Copies of this chain bind each other. A is one copy, B any other.
Amino acid sequence: MKTVLVIGGGVTGLKASSELAEMGYNVTLVEKEDYLGGQVAKHKYYKLAPDLRLAGEVIDPVIKAVENNSNIKVYKHSHVAAVSGNAPEFKAKIKNSKGESEENFGAIVVATGFEHFDPTVKQEYGYGRFKDVVTNAEVEEMLNPGGPTNGELKRPSDGETPKKIAIFQCVGSRDRQVGNPYCCRVGCVVSTKQAIEIKEKYPDSEVYVYYMDMRMFGRGWEELYGKAMEEYEIIFTRGRGAEVTLKNQQLSLRAEETIMDRPIQHSVDMIILAAGMAAGEGTIEAANVLGIKQNDYGFLEPKDDFVSPNESSKPGIFIAGADKGPMDIENCIVEGAAVAAKVASSLKN
């Protein structure tokens, strides 16, 4: 029985590993961080849209399915430094603080995920310059009772609870200037979810969402959007965030209302940026080590987008999840199972 190398211990890689192990394959899972769970764990995601159920209810069983399966060997804080050979006889060098080992594999799954777009690139939004301009991911950590503010939304500048909060959608998404014309897929729903969480916890707060299009396309997302407007009185305004300034210690935003080309000026206490998804370092590293194709944005390119969505440009090397482009957690879990099927059939033939 051949062993499968899975690179990346986020949701997709975890699911791929446990599915393969359940089908009887041996798996070696290599994760660069010293924890499993990818971005969900990194940013202490608290609740998930659209049901506002605890992220732990989803990620914990996915992690446990890996940890409790004796067919899976997990290397944390490790890298795949080099790969040689061809399908189905690969040799990979795995490096970590304890040293270097070389192992043989029948197939390789790349599930290196994404990284959040770095909003300092959009200088006009003031992230990094103004303390109270934060990201969705940072709010996620704040809202988590196990996070740095014990579950409270606090202004980083003075520790106060903000009263007027604006959310800017599409930060580093749908933006040709920064080279990311694509949609991040999850910004609209995550922002809507956070707006609801904020209004639930702080009913006196005012939450304003500035958006280009509300892309509430997923299961239950549209219903969540309706609830946000009707039950929580969150104000959605169509307009792209243009600039953030600080006037007499007060954050002020300018947005471009896109229908009438009317500028909007708005003073608020906190601005949350819905930072998009970008190809992560781990993905770029894996593409280089393995010699597989990337698209214009650095994401991994399937052999055929429709017919072979989980095969890379090289036989025996498979790809899945958000290293192929923006993807939500539900889809990543499906991709993890799908790539396991492809690996299984390739090793059978």
Residues of A within 8 A of B (CB): 19, 22-24, 48, 51, 57-58, 61-62, 174, 176, 181-183, 185, 213-217, 219-223, 226, 238, 259-260, 305-307, 309-310, 325, 329-331, 333-342, 344-345, 348-349
Residues of B within 8 A of A222 (CB): 174, 181-183
Residues of B within 8 A of A214 (CB): 213
B185→A217 contact, CB < 8 A:
yes
Residues of B within 8 A of A176 (CB): 226
A309→B333 contact, CB < 8 A:
yes
Across the A-B interface, give the 4 residue pairs with the lowest CB-CB distance, nearest first: A22-B345, A337-B338, A213-B213, A341-B341
CB of A20 to closest CB in B, whole Å: 8
A330→B309 contact, CB < 8 A:
yes
The docked-state distance in angstroms from the alpha carbon of A259 to that of B237 is 9
Residues of B within 8 A of A22 (CB): 345, 348-349
The docked-state distance in angstroms from the alpha carbon of A309 to that of B331 is 9
A338→B334 contact, CB < 8 A:
yes
Residues of B within 8 A of A23 (CB): 23, 341, 344-345, 348
CB of A186 to closest CB in B, whole Å: 9
Contact of A221 (CB < 8 Å), options: B51, B183, B335 = B183
Between-chain CB contacts (< 8 Å), 11 pairs: A19-B341, A22-B349, A48-B306, A57-B307, A181-B223, A259-B259, A306-B329, A309-B330, A310-B334, A335-B338, A337-B341
Residues of B within 8 A of A61 (CB): 307
Contact of A238 (CB < 8 Å), options: B19, B220, B259, B325 = B259
Residues of B within 8 A of A338 (CB): 334-338, 341
Residues of B within 8 A of A213 (CB): 213-216
Residue of B nearest to A21 (CB): B345
In the complex, which of the residues A58, A61, A217, A349 has the most CB atoms of chain B within 10 Å of its own CB atom?
A217
The docked-state distance in angstroms from the alpha carbon of A238 to that of B176 is 22
Residues of B within 8 A of A307 (CB): 57-58, 61-62, 333
A306→B325 contact, CB < 8 A:
no
Q: A19-B345, A341-B341 are in contact. Are A58 and B223 (CB under 8 A)?
A: no
The docked-state distance in angstroms from the alpha carbon of A22 to that of B343 is 11
A182→B223 contact, CB < 8 A:
yes
Residues of B within 8 A of A221 (CB): 183
The docked-state distance in angstroms from the alpha carbon of A190 to that of B305 is 17
Residue of B nearest to A325 (CB): B219
The docked-state distance in angstroms from the alpha carbon of A284 to that of B198 is 39
The docked-state distance in angstroms from the alpha carbon of A310 to that of B334 is 8
* With A19-B341, A48-B306 already in contact, 7 other A-B pairs whose C-beta atoms are closer than 8 Å: A22-B349, A24-B348, A183-B217, A215-B215, A217-B217, A306-B329, A337-B342
